Amino acid sequence: MSRFSTDSIVGIIGAGAMGSGIAQVAAMAGHNVVVYDTNAVALGNSKDKLEKILNRLVEKGKIESVESITSKIIYAANLSALEDCSLIIEAIIENLDIKKKVFADVEAIVSDDCVIATNTSSLSVTSIAAACNKAERVLGLHFFNPAPLMALVEVVPAVQSDDAIVQECKALMSSWKKVPVIAKDTPGFIVNRVARPFYGEAIRMMEEGIADAATIDWAMTEAGGFRMGPFTLTDYIGHDVNYVVTETVFESFFYDPRYKPSFSQKRLLEAGWLGRKTGRGFFNYAEGAAQPEPNKDTVLANNIVARVVVMLINEAVDALHLNIASAEDLELAMTKGVNYPKGLLVWCDEWGADKVLNILDGLYNEYHEDRYRASALLRKAAANGSKFMS
């Protein structure tokens, strides 16, 4: 029997956008929720923004009343308010030392049965768990922003995690109408690891002068079927977030060239041109600013798509090779987490592993850079003519 009935209380640490979103998800799933933050202003803002969101849901007929959800949520500035929780999800700043202190403080006040989860997107769950005496009750539950709208949750066991707790949390996420996938505790987990070339290879082509940002975005959406081009997407995410994730993954993988950040994006960060939020990024969002016209050359577009997609496929295949996740979970993560037009392993099957390998090897032979090295599993599939999702 699961410890997580709808009578159980869910605690959220952090009243920012992510914490508030997870609180909304938990409350709408029927749980009583405690949102804890040391910042009273953040708590007030979280409450106000949630009421506005819920009012819109009432107007659309999605919920009966605002009070049916808000009555389930308590906002607290005192850590002791979390003492009766069955599950606590931390969603604060991506700083390992701060997270470890918070986990140690939380463990001191909760019951022995309370599960403590981190929403980290880039830090070691194992390292965070090590701050607790009962490290087996710690795991990662990585939601995607905005949490109420994004279906995917990466469930990340630490080395120390009790598998029974991991499976209970996976089932809980399903009951919250999320799509949970199990990911090994390695940098970037699934999505933030596999998706790196979508940004990195696009920027590389721009830096080389193969095409400008507008053309690459047009190619990836029109010829590639992606919902948003890489430059538009990084501007939307914010370079203070997207670049930092890339840099963190690069450093965490012992400076593997496959994840190398770009100077172009770093310069935007240094200039304070963070994207839409500041009015300027790769593109200019000022009112009346002229937007660049793409070069709608279909041959160029297909070459751009091929170069980015084979890099993405190679990452997915290598993640499978290294048992980061199952093939099914890899496909779910990339279609539900970042809304790719199809799973990357299916994409490889459709193109043929031999075609993907030929393009990658062509890039490697041209550049002699390790960023283009093909996964051993891709080479094996090409040699055998085998498929990943058959």
Q: Which tokens in the block code for residue 314?
A: 């190679």
User: 36 with 13: CB under 8 angstroms?
Assistant: yes
User: 293 with 218: CB under 8 angstroms?
Assistant: no
Q: Distance between terminal CA atoms of the chain? A: 35
- φ/ψ bin of 255: left (φ > 0), alpha (ψ from -120 to 50), beta (otherwise): left
Q: Among this protein's residues, is 32 annotated catalytic?
A: no
CA-based nearest residue to 366, from 234, 227, 208: 208
Residue type, 225: G
- Residue of 86, 121, 161, 375 marked active site: 121
How many whole angstroms separate alpha carbon 314 and alpha carbon 174? Answer: 29
Residue with tokens 């596999």: 194
Give the number of other Cβ atoms within 10 Å of residue 114's Cβ: 22
Q: Is 80 helix (H, G, I), strand (E, B) or coil?
A: helix
User: 159 with 192: CB under 8 angstroms?
Assistant: no
- Residue of 161, 192, 262, 314 marked active site: 192
Count of alpha carbons within 13 angstroms of residue 286, beta-carbon side: 5
Q: What angle do CA 164, 186, 135 make, to 5 degrees?
A: 40
Q: Which tokens in the block code for residue 361?
A: 């090897």
- Residue of 31, 32, 119, 142 marked active site: 142
Q: Among this protein's residues, is 154 annotated catalytic?
A: yes
How many whole angstroms separate alpha carbon 90 and alpha carbon 72? Answer: 19
CA distances from 138 to 130, 179, 185, 203 (A): 9, 20, 12, 37
- Sign (positive/negative) of CA torsion 269, 272, 273, 276? positive
- Residue of 107, 154, 201, 331 marked active site: 154
Q: Among this protein's residues, is 339 annotated catalytic?
A: no
Q: Which tokens in the block code for residue 206?
A: 């721009």
CA-based nearest residue to 237, from 247, 227, 245: 245
Q: Among this protein's residues, is 239 annotated catalytic?
A: no
Catalytic machinery residues: 121, 142, 154, 192
